[in-house]
Structure 1
Amino acid sequence: MGGIVGKSESPKKVCTPETKLEAKIVEAMKRRAIQGTSMKSFDNIILKFPKIDESLRNCKAIFELFDEDSNGAIDQEEMKKCFHKLGISFTEEEISDFFNACDINEDMGIKFNEFIVLLCLVYLLKDGQTAIHTKLKVVMPNQETTFETLVDAFVFLDKNKDGYVSRSEMVEAINETTSGERSSGRIAMKRFEEMDWDKNGMVSVKEFLFAFTRWVGIDEVEEEEEEEQ
């Protein structure tokens, strides 16, 4: 009975995207999910942490390039220039939605960990557009593989391919890894709570990406630099 309840939870709980941008991201994830995932277990994801951590830290130089006033954050005008330099076209509404979505601290500035989430969402939305991906490769060599790994990890967790990860899907993913160990339920709940920061019972791609920057310690780099300043 437990398995039946777990599998029926996601369809019952429906998340309505708050913005047009979020709706596009959900649709992009659904399309991506059709391709499947190379991830075999949650351990697979954890084993990739060190490589992902190193790769994401290499984005620091790009971040500093776009942070024109060197104040440790990218404001909305700098973000527009950032997109322009990358040759990526978004509407004013999309740019505003991007900024509000990634400015998680609501301090009117995109910090480094928020910038990583921003880049990954841009990568996801522009998937299939060769010209855009070519420009991203030039500016951020070797980052495409990392972003693809992050997207792949989310697809692995999103069992019903609806663009969100539910609590039961998280439990299922952890159980596949731990072969039903007694502690697996607690591990799943802890990981899920770390991701579900708006506490609505469903994890979006954005929430997953922010959790990932915390798991690999990107936000700690930001805190250390702020303390030094």
Structure 2
Amino acid sequence: MTGPLTPTPVDEFVQRYPAGPKVSAGLSITKEEIEKVFNFFDENNDGLISKDDLRHFMEKLGFETTDEEINSMVTSVDINGDGSVDFMEFANLYEALVTEQVMQGKDLYEEEDLREAFNVFDTDDDGFISPQELQAVLIKLGMQEGASLDNCINMIKNVDDDV
């Protein structure tokens, strides 16, 4: 007979947030979703988001980042000081962002940051993100969701209030 299983960082996250943290729109995030986001950054599947992982992700999005910027991003989240971001540090960042947004009613990002992120997708600068533009970015990021244009059309329909 073996002893009790040691909980994984994902299990610890779920124990801390059994129903999933709520965002202002009434949506919740599941264990699988937060793990999927973490794993997307952790390309080599070593359980850590390294500076190289983060730099590679930013390059995929078309951002040129300096070593200083990458160091600053990681250092701001790296609680244990090991130079990388583990799952619990990532979950803590998520908790802080959601708590700030929901409890204080503050915008998660400044308008300038949102505009910059929007512009990554709006490649023709027409003020709209088309399914084709979404697909191009998802493919650039290596995400399977971008393989199907119909999938991208449905993603936009799910968030577009004008449809």
TM-score calculated relative to the size of structure 1: 0.33
Higher relative contact order (CA 8 A, sep 6+): 1
TM-score, with normalisation over the residues of structure 2? 0.44
